[in-house]
Amino acid sequence: MRRGAQPSVWALRGVLVAGILVALFAWVPQGHAPPVVLDVLVVAAAALSAFRPEHLSLPITMSFVVVWWAFAIGGDGLPAAALVAAAGLTITHVAAVLLSYGPPSLPVDPQLALLWAGRGLLTWVGSLVVWGVARTYTDHGTPSLFWLTGLAAALVGAVVAGAAVPVRGQQARE
């Protein structure tokens, strides 16, 4: 019985690493290259995450990329490269989700991959919407903190609501 990783799993690992690199280097064309130390760190952590997609190293790496973006953008507003970075992070997340469905000996189900590709695309449209809305309201007198706070409140509300809903089975037993 074969117990090694399937070719489709290897491909997905490559996609995971590629996604995070796309997110990291999305603003290079505008002349904002990340420091070499960060490049090495992200590549190493991404490679580790490709083999252990459920490890904490992946969200930490992704957070590093996000923080780098905060430093790199500074006061440069809303570049279109943010959409490329969003696509990169989405690809990485979707690849990690697909890898987490089973051990490396489980071949990636094409139907499942297609489903998640669609979901990734749909959610990336969310980025496009936020980018469009933010572009519309920038320079129109509405402070960005205003709508950012609203978004954060909505997020916290969703998390609290989700966590508070009990499992029906639990209710029945209680």
Partner 1 sequence: MSEPETRWRSTSNLGRALLVGGVAVGVALATGIPALVVVVAPLLVMGALGLLHKPTREPYVFATIGHRQLHEGQGTRIRLETRDMDDVEHLTRVMSPQPFLAIRPVDGALGQLLAPGDQVRAVEVSPRRWGSRLVGAEKVALTAPWAGYRWGPVPFIGREVGVLPTLTHVRSGGEAPQPIGLIGAHRSRRDGNGTEFSSIRRFHAGDRLRRINWRVSLRQGILHVESTRAEEDTAVLLIVDALADYGQSGGIGSTESSLDVTVRAAAALADQYLSGGDRVSLRVLSPSGEYAGYGTGTRHLRRILILLSRIRPGLPRDVAIDQIDFRTTAGSVVVVISPMLSEPLATATVRLVRRGLPVIVVDPLPPGSTPSVYPDADAVVSDLAWRMRLLDRSHLLAQLSAAGCPVVPWNGPRTLEEVLRRLSRRGQLPRVGGG
Window 4-33: residues binding partner 1 (CB under 8 A)? 6, 23
CB atoms within 10 A of CB 21: 17
Nearer to partner 1, 37 or 145 (CB): 145
Specify the residue, 31 or 173, whose C-beta has the smaller distance to partner 1: 173
Size of the site for partner 1 (CB under 8 A): 73
Q: Looking at 112, 117, 118, 136, which residue binds partner 1 (CB under 8 A)?
A: 112
The correct pick among 42, 46, 50, 86 for binding partner 1 (CB under 8 A) is 86
Q: What's the half-sphere exposure (Cβ side, CA atoms, 13 Å) at 95?
A: 26
Distances (CA, A) of 98 to 24, 101, 134: 22, 6, 31
Question: Which of 54, 117, 118, 136 is the binder for partner 1 (CB under 8 A)?
Answer: 54
Site for partner 1 in 131-160 (CB under 8 A): 131, 134, 138, 143-145, 147-149, 151-152, 155, 158-159
By the 8 A CB rule, do 81 and 28 touch? no
End-to-end CA distance of the chain: 45
